[in-house]
Structure 1
Amino acid sequence: MAPPENTPITVALVDDYDVVLIGVANMFDRYRDRVVVAEIDSNMSLDDSVDIVLYDSFAQPEADHDEIAALVANPRARRVVVYTWNFHPDLIANAQEKGAHGYLSKTLPARELVAALEAVHAGETIVSDVPPRARSAVGLDWPGRGEGLSDREAEILALITQGKSNAEVAALTYLSPNTIKSYIRTIYRKIDVLSRTQAVLWGVKHGFTPDHNRIEHWKGGP
């Protein structure tokens, strides 16, 4: 049953990195009369349904659409929205095919993100316009931001820290192998390392290993 009109929509956040989710949650602080974050910690059980599950794509298996399908299939999730910087047409089409109700850009200011979530809650399917390359919305956070890594660089380093090869990173992010190599060269320079092993060790030390595996408790129904 949907909540009464004029009550805040409830949103559960899904991503394995606490710093990422805290940044997203902080974006909603000024809009608590419209959006309530119902879940952020996978160690706390959530028995009630939520209006929207917001699936943050940072270092998540974007190309593994079974993750999106699992969220859509869970009766506790009334609607599922992907929150991402990656607008490859195949990713959008596959997310919609799996039943996602929205595909929203991380460049959206908080007020526009809230309005988009409200539109999804009202029954619309919302897909952001393909954004020009721009900075992520003010308030978002990610590992390595303080060390000067961009969100995309941080995501690639997180995937490398998880043990992914260049080919796997390219497949997961829908970027070309040459683009991945270019990102990796820039990452090495920014974190002052010379090898992949050094980059992985740096990543482990600086919070690039997942804090949780939040998707697991959304699989298999309530």
Structure 2
Amino acid sequence: MSIKVALVNDDEVVVRGLDSMLRNYGEHVEVVELNASTPVSAGVDVALYDTFGMGQGNGPTVAALVANPRVSKVAVYTWNFQPWLARDTLTQGVQGYLSKSLKASDLVDALLLVHSGRVVCSPDPGRRPIVGGDWPGREEGLTAREAEVLSMITMGMSNQEIAERTFLSLNSIKSYIRSCYRKIDVDSRTKAVLWGVAHGLRPDRLRIAGSQAQPSVQEEAEPELTA
């Protein structure tokens, strides 16, 4: 059995990494849409929402996916396993709360179970590393969490806004920022934003269908960079 899956995230590197992760399981999973800053437009069996830089699974984007008549089931792909957040997300109508520590084969099995009508919640992975997928800045040594924080800085968010979106403490955000700055060799927020823009840490401007990126009809104006 093959199910149709839409990968939902604003970052091209993230969705392409997930696409690559699932590519060897084509007999079970057909990636029919990679969504970049656009809603799911074709009928899919499961929309897999990657939380990287997007907000958690109990937010309005996931609620819109659940309400979308073109989407049969919704699964959230995350490393945030605070018990209250997992419960809150599942009560929104999400049927999969899946860990980024899952191997590709286990992720596929979970998606098939979600498609069958089962509610699937991965065990808390603790400190186990992310296994599959990709993220901007990985080759430069950034961890997935550091890259996520840096992507939000690049989008112009304050430390407080980042903390609210990730459900991390303000002190944790500051710690991630310091480690980011050391790894990318910058000493200010403005320089970090410039580095992020140069390395793809910004919302994608492309509509991606299948595995081929198609330019949008009209590019959005780039925001003016501020400190």
TM-score range, shorter chain: 0.7 to 0.9
- CA displacement at 1:68 relative to structure 2: 1.0
Q: Which amino acid aligns with 2:131?
A: A
Moved more, 94-103 or 113-122: 94-103
Q: Aligned with 1:68: secondary structure?
A: helix
**1:163 corresponds to:** 156
- Corresponding residue to 1:36 among 30, 33, 48: 30
| Amino acid corresponding to residue 129 of structure 2 in structure 1 | R
Deviations 1:63-96 (A, max 9, x none): 7611111000001000000001111223212211
Query: Residue type matched to 1:32 in 2?
Result: G
2:67 to 62, 65, 73: 73
Aligned partners of 2:7 and 2:34 also within 8 Å: yes
Of 178, 181, 185, 1:185 maps to: 178
1:175 to 157, 161, 168: 168
Counterpart CA distance in 2 for 1:17 and 1:74 is 21
Deviations 1:116-140 (CA, angstroms, capped at 9, x unpaired): 01111111000110002122114x1
Could you say if the C-alpha distance between residues 43 and 95 of structure 1 is closer, same or farther in structure 2, counting changes exceeding 3 Å?
A: closer
User: Counterparts of 1:74-153 in structure 2 under 5 Å?
Assistant: 74-138=68-132, 140-153=133-146
Task: Count how many residue pairs are aligned between Structure 1 and Structure 2.
Answer: 207
**1:28, distance to aligned residue in structure 2 (A):** 1.1
The runs of 4+ residues in structure 1 deviating greater than 6 Å are 43-46
Q: How far has the Cα of 1:146 moved from its partner?
A: 0.6
Candidates 178, 183, 189, aligned match of 1:196: 189
Pair 1:16-2:4 in alignment: no
Q: Which runs of 5+ in 1 are unaligned?
A: 1-6, 215-222
**Alpha-carbon separation, structure 2, partners of 1:172 and 1:44:** 20
- Corresponding letter in the other structure for 1:55: Y
- 1:4 equivalent in structure 2: none
1:144–1:186: structure 2 CA closer, same or farther, 3 Å change rule?
Answer: same
Q: 29, 52, 55: which is aligned to 2:46?
A: 52
Contact 2:11 2:36 in 1 (8 A): no
Which secondary structure state, in structure 1, belongs to the residue aligned with residue 111 of structure 2? helix
3-state DSSP class of the match of 2:5?
A: strand
Partner of 1:3: none
Which amino acid counterpart does residue 150 of structure 2 have in structure 1?
L
Counterparts in 2 of 1:205 and 1:130: CA distance versus 1, 3 Å: same
1:3-25 CA distance string (max 9 Å, x none) = xxxx3011001100111011101
Secondary structure class of the residue paired with 1:78: strand
Q: Considering fraction of residues, name the structure with more strand.
A: 2
Question: How far 1:27 moved relative to its partner?
Answer: 1.0
Please report how far the alpha carbon of residue 56 of structure 1 lies from its aligned counterpart in structure 2 after TM superposition: 0.6
* Structure 1 contact 65–94 (Cα < 8 Å) conserved: no
- The whole-number CA distance in structure 2 between the counterparts of 1:169 and 1:145 is 20
